[in-house]
Amino acid sequence: MKGIVLAGGTGSRLWPITRGVSKQLLPVYDKPMIHYPIATLMLAGIRNIAIITTPSDQEAFKQVLGSGSRFGVEFEYFVQGEPKGIAEAFVIAEEFISQDKCALILGDNLFHGVGLGRHLSDFTYVQGAQIFAYKVTDPSRYGVVSFDKNGKVETLEEKPAIPRTSYAVPGLYFYDNQVIEIARNLQPSRRGELEITAVNEAYLAMNQLQVSILPNGTAWMDTGTFSSLHEAGSYVRALQDRQGNKIACLEEIAFRQGWINENELQAIIESYGQTEFAIYLTECLDNPR
Provide mean pLDDT across the span 223-250: 93
Q: How far is CA 270 from CA 41, 252, 273, 274, 288, in A?
A: 26, 15, 5, 8, 18
Q: Are 164 and 146 in contact (CB under 8 A)?
A: yes
Q: Are 63 and 77 in contact (CB under 8 A)?
A: no
SS3 state of residue 170: coil
Structure confidence by residue, pLDDT tens digits, 83-130: 889 999 999 999 999 999 999 999 999 999 888 888 899 899 999 999
Structure confidence by residue, pLDDT tens digits, 43-54: 999 999 999 999
Structure confidence by residue, pLDDT tens digits, 192-236: 889 999 999 999 999 999 999 987 789 999 888 899 899 999 999
Vertex 94, ends 19 and 20: CA angle to 5°?
5
Report all structural domains of the chain as residue ranges with CATH numbers, in order of start.
2-132+170-258 (3.90.550.10), 261-289 (no CATH)
